[in-house]
Structure 1
């Protein structure tokens, strides 16, 4: 079936292409008689206006690009929910790109978002590379990062104080009389979960006079199976930990599963603290003591900042730090 063009619509209605464009975009006044005539032809022909063509006329796509590493992680799902609801408020759409931690895919998506003329990009990645830096040196439209500082660039970031959050989680365990406290951190290429939360953990140990033990440090990739494997390794130590701090809740779930399957109990034998407070944390058995990030609010704020930048309003290029909270549940207890 031949696709009808705007030129043909104009000829059939006896008007100019500019008049048809005004009717489609509701951009300038058109008399009721001409409006009805054009709409009648559109309805009779089943004409569908091109989104790209309309966006070129308006100079606006009303689309924001969103690049995340793993939508299957409940943290990102909640974050996206906050962004989408704010985008809907302003009649904007979000083009979601999910890289599954594949750096080549991330770069392909960034190029795609540029080609699609999105009005801005909200960017999250587990590691900022030189390729990312080269891209954003050339990209001139609004950009916001979440949970990731982009050093040397004029880009606002929405986050919590990850160092302090790691400190608070560890300090809580110390005050519960734990002295053999392990950590399941993220790779050190991850500035927040791999470095800042880990540094907070080490600082808390130092402040309370507890010797740092490299054997109590394990690395995961945010998935439950890596938490499980980390706990297996920890239980094989001559002196296993009495508590474990995991830098996300999914790995905490894996740690707890491992402890239980090895015939031990949480929290009677080993206390476990997670991070994020995803919905599963409160429903897991035992429910997980965790650091609550205001995930929805972080997503909502990032989109609010994006909209302001698109509108040309001044936004300070700094980290917008939202408050975190330690939520105590059943997975921890005082060490006797």
Structure 2
């Protein structure tokens, strides 16, 4: 049988109310009595019920996080930072890997609300009406949406500014003398894919450069997606001199496919990625990429949730992170013959 607060009270020779006040620090209790209670609890190896305590103090010191995948290095690094900042602030993290499945997203949202978490972080690239409705139903719970999402006034949103990051990447290729630039991106139903394609198109248009339709390839955000995209480019009679790839994992696959076809990077083909995952510095050659400030994103998300818990408000706010370029060795200057 589990040890209860009644057992502690009996052992200490005090009432259950006194034990509760001592353990929860909800009222002054004489030092001698406190000592008796603590000793009785230690002797009996009493562990207070987190659920019962949460009902009294109306907080669980737990946060939930919905994330598209835990396999991607970008998400893995981000989750690591989120967990670190949760721990630093005295919170536990309940992580839910949705695998991009709408039903799992809704199921996890119900579970997290039933577990009485204090707030929820949402970082899912899949956005649809059912998810928007489900989030609206939980509007009494602090929710911070990371990287994407609806514009509903009650939500706090942190955006990575993918369109600007893609513009920066494309402009760097243009500044290096490239005019024939291809784009390999993720699925266009995903918000980041849409924004990165828009940033690429805007930079090309501002430079007065044409975009060949066959050089804009929709794939997926994994290594294999990059390989497939590059294979399509390699099969064309007219090839680009540079490629902007929608994330670093795809860039890894694209580089591997190009090199397997005998193409030298960056001498014959320049490649730039997006995300600045930690491994990108160790690609061969090291990848020039756009940095998403993952630790700042994590810290801002946690601090925003906690701030809303401390000072409840009905309206949300939108915060924008600024991407920046990380120059390495995968892009070369293009000298037209």
User: Normalising by structure 1, what TM-score?
Assistant: 0.94
Query: Which contiguous aligned blocks of 4+ residues in structure 1 show a shift greater than 6 angstroms?
Result: none
Residue matched to 1:26: 25
Distance 1:168 1:236, change over 3 A: same
Within 2, Cα distance between the matches of 1:281 and 1:170? 18
SS at match of 2:316: coil
Q: Deviations over 1:77-97 (max 9, x none)?
A: 232233333323321222111
Moved more, 69-78 or 118-127: 69-78
What residue in structure 2 maps to residue 201 of structure 1? 200
Q: By how many angstroms is 1:161 displaced? A: 2.1
Specify the SS of the correspondent of 2:299: helix
**Cα distance in 2 for residues equivalent to 1:153 and 1:202:** 30
Structure 2 match to 1:166: 166
The answer (yes or no) to whether the contact 2:122–2:146 under 8 Å persists in 1 is: yes
Q: Would you say 1:5 and 2:4 are equivalent positions?
A: yes
Q: Look up the match of 2:152.
A: 152
Quick check: 2:187–2:221 contact (8 Å CA) kept in 1? Answer: no
Match of 1:44 in 2: 43
Q: How does 1:31-180 map to 2 (within 5 A)?
A: 31-139=30-138, 140-180=140-180
CA displacement at 1:49 relative to structure 2: 1.5
**Retained in 2: the 8 A contact 1:305–1:315?**
no
RMSD between aligned alpha carbons?
1.8
Partner residue in 1 for 2:188? 188
Structure 2: state its 5+ residue gaps: none
What CA distance in whole angstroms lies between the structure 2 residues aligned with 1:241 and 1:315? 50
SS of equivalent residue, structure 1 residue 72: coil
Call closer, same or farther: CA 1:137–1:316 in 2, change over 3 Å: closer
Return the alpha-carbon distance in structure 2 between the equivalents of residues 153 and 112 of structure 1. Answer: 24
Q: Give the aligned partner of residue 325 of structure 1.
A: 324
Provide the C-alpha distance between the structure 2 equivalents of 1:229 and 1:320, rounded to a whole number of angstroms: 35
SS at match of 2:238: coil
Residues 331 and 183 from structure 1, CA distance in 2 versus in 1: closer, same or farther, beyond 3 angstroms?
same
Looking at structure 2, the residues matched to 253 and 228 of structure 1 have their Cα atoms a distance apart, in angstroms, of 8
Give CA-to-partner distance per residue, 1:111-137, whole Å, 9 cap, x none: 111011011111110121122112112
Residue equivalent to 1:291 = 290
1:282 aligns to 2:273 (yes or no) = no
In structure 2, relative to structure 1, the CA distance for the partners of 1:315 and 1:180 (3 Å cut) is farther
TM-score when scaled to structure 2?
A: 0.93
* Change in 2 beyond 3 A, CA 1:210/1:296: same
Cα shift at 1:313: 5.4
